[in-house]
Amino acid sequence: MSVSKLTMFRKLLRLWLWSIIKRRWYLPEISEITVDELFDRFNGNTLPILLDLRDLVEFYGNGEYKYEKYGHIPNSKWFRLMELSSRLDDLEEFKDKEIVTICQGGGMSLVAVQIMIEAGFTDVKSLKSGIKGWKKKGYPLIKSNEDELPPDEIKLASFDDRSKIMEEIFPLDETYNGEVHYTVDARGLSCPQPVLKSKKTLKKLKIGQILEILTTDPGSKRDIPAWARVTGQELVVFEERGSQGFRFLVKRMK
Q: What is the pTM of this model?
A: 0.63
pLDDT the model gives residue 155: 43
Tell me if residue 191 is catalytic.
Answer: yes
Domains of the chain, by residue range, sit at 32-162, 170-251
Q: Which of 35, 191, 202, 224 is catalytic?
A: 191
Q: Which of 88, 52, 82, 83 is nearest to 70 (CA)?
A: 52
Q: pLDDT tens string for the chain (254 positions)?
A: 444 556 555 655 665 555 555 444 333 467 899 999 999 998 877 899 999 998 888 888 887 778 788 999 998 988 878 778 778 888 888 899 999 999 988 888 988 898 888 888 999 999 999 999 999 999 999 887 655 544 344 443 333 333 333 444 445 455 555 688 999 999 988 877 888 889 889 988 999 899 999 999 888 888 888 888 888 888 888 888 888 899 999 999 88
CATH topology classification for 170-251: Translation Initiation Factor IF3 (3.30.110)
The CATH code of domain 32-162 reads 3.40.250.10
